[in-house]
Amino acid sequence: MAATSTNFTHPFLDLDGDKLREECGIFGAINAADAAAATALGLHALQHRGQEAVGITSFDGSEFYSSRGLGHVAENFSSAESIAVLPGHMAAGHVRYSTTGGSGLRNVQPLYADLATGGFAVAHNGNISNAMTLRADLVRKGSIFQSTSDTEVIIHLVATSRYPTLADRLIDALRLVEGAYALIVMTPEGMIACRDPLGIRPLVMGRMGDAVVFASETVAFDVIGAEFVREVEPGEMVHVDFSGEVQSVRPFGHVSPRPCIFEHVYFSRPDSLFAGQSVYEVRKAIGTQLAMEAPCDVDLVVPVPDSGVPAAIGFAQQSGIPFELGIIRSHYVGRTFIQPSDSARHSGVKRKHNANRGLVAGKRIVLIDDSIVRGTTSLKIVEMMREAGASEVHFRVASPPTAHSCFYGVDTPERSKLLAARMELDAMRDFIKADSLAFISIDGLYRAVGAAKRNAACPQFCDACFSGEYPTSLTDLAMAEPKAAELPFADPKAA
């Protein structure tokens, strides 16, 4: 690479890991006058998908350039100088969370390598569930890895493929890969965008004048003034060259897609479109369905901000119970620092959320949240409402119980730490100290996203975190041995 800059600003760390976290967002632009600037803006709109690190790689027709750093987009790419080191009409970028063993600048994407066919940069959203197995085989054959990211496995598979063209080498590599991926690849010939055959992770295509752009979510196009064209289809590989020609190939055949249903529940920004639907409207529909399935005799519907707001609106509209902001979220608090004591952890929640005492005192309230993971945050919020004087505190959840870990690019705790994997409903209610607790049913969730019900024989979405039915093989998990924790990718959630 011709240039590299780094920023060692350390990010805030999550207090409990008590939310499912999408591990990254990707953006790419080709034939754009200010490709790196557009990429930085697009990544800013995708910041919710990853807040620990950011990187951008550009190509000026002869050389690749890269800049990356820990922290937010604004901390690394807010000045003209930070963009000036990334010249060219093609750029791709990545925002990420890390998981166990995954933090550090060497894992910040896009990853870059000089291959026999020329420069190769890749930004990846998802998780390769056989990465440890592939990596071990590649190392035995002489490959030398520079990161602990599963994404680097793709680079080595491309480098060692015997096919003549880079596009065919990429297809050859991806045939060996299990799991989930949305990729933006840059080469001296142009840009390639592709999704895994099941389309588990999202990827969309747009246009901005003569430029073609790709992103994890449509909201990134709104920010840069691009027009949303369509989704990159599951199993599709889109090639764009510097003349503007766009070609589509489907090298993996046609299978029934299984996009991640949690994009509707939580991951995507509410102002995005996902699977052809408004995320905001779907979340309201989830709240409506939840109110029909689990009504509650209370005075107020109170969302847990911010992710519970659309579902709470739908719940309130369906039930006829007033919607009120009984919890106020501070927008000037970053992700909470790790704290050494239980009392400090509790104050961390209060720095993010505070009870609207004058509103909730003496009232029966129902709290609406998108999910319960470990349950610790739910407990603290219920306790906060009681301390503020609420006479009853009920809890409704806009997703089914999260009882299984995700191995497709979402940071979830190990299953033993998921509340729904350890407890039945009544025990969960007692744990969070609510007067009642209910979750939307999995069929109700499917109805809210427009399906009559869940097709048990072939589900329309990936819902493994609820059902435990994983749509692909989990080779690394199956092959794990007692000493596997010492090896790269022993945690299948690493991305």
Q: Could you tell me the domains of the chain?
A: 4-258 (3.60.20.10), 278-468 (3.40.50.2020)
The pLDDT value recorded for residue 14 is 35
pTM of the shown model: 0.89
Residue among 209, 229, 210 nearest 218 (CA): 229
**What pLDDT shows up at residue 454?**
95
Tokens representing residue 363 in the block: 């009232």
Residue 97: what pLDDT? 79
| Per-position pLDDT tens, the chain of length 495 | 444 443 322 222 233 456 665 579 999 999 999 999 999 999 999 999 999 999 999 999 999 999 999 999 999 999 999 999 999 999 999 999 764 345 678 899 999 999 998 999 999 999 999 999 999 999 999 999 999 899 999 999 999 999 999 999 999 999 999 999 999 999 999 999 999 999 999 999 999 999 999 999 999 999 999 999 999 999 999 999 999 999 999 999 888 999 999 999 999 999 999 999 999 999 999 999 999 999 999 999 999 998 899 999 999 999 999 999 999 988 775 543 333 344 444 445 566 789 999 999 999 999 999 999 999 999 999 999 999 999 999 999 999 999 999 999 887 778 989 999 999 999 999 999 999 999 999 999 999 999 989 999 989 999 999 999 999 999 998 877 444 333 333 333 333
Rounded Cα gap, residues 331 and 137, in angstroms: 47
Per the listing, tokens 């240039």 go with 3
What pLDDT score does 471 carry?
Answer: 95
Does 462 qualify as catalytic in the annotation? no
Q: Which residues have C-beta within 8 Å of that of residue 210, sequence separation ≥ 6?
A: 31, 32, 244
Determine the pLDDT at residue 482. Answer: 43
Q: Which residues pair with 207 in a beta bridge?
A: 212, 227
Query: If you write DSSP's letter for every residue of 43-89 in order, what string do you get?
Result: HHHTGGG--SEEEEEEE-SS-EEEEEEES-HHHHS-SHHHHHTS-SS
- Catalytic, out of 24, 194, 296, 462: 24
Main-chain dihedrals φ then ψ at residue 274, nearest 5 degrees: -140, 130
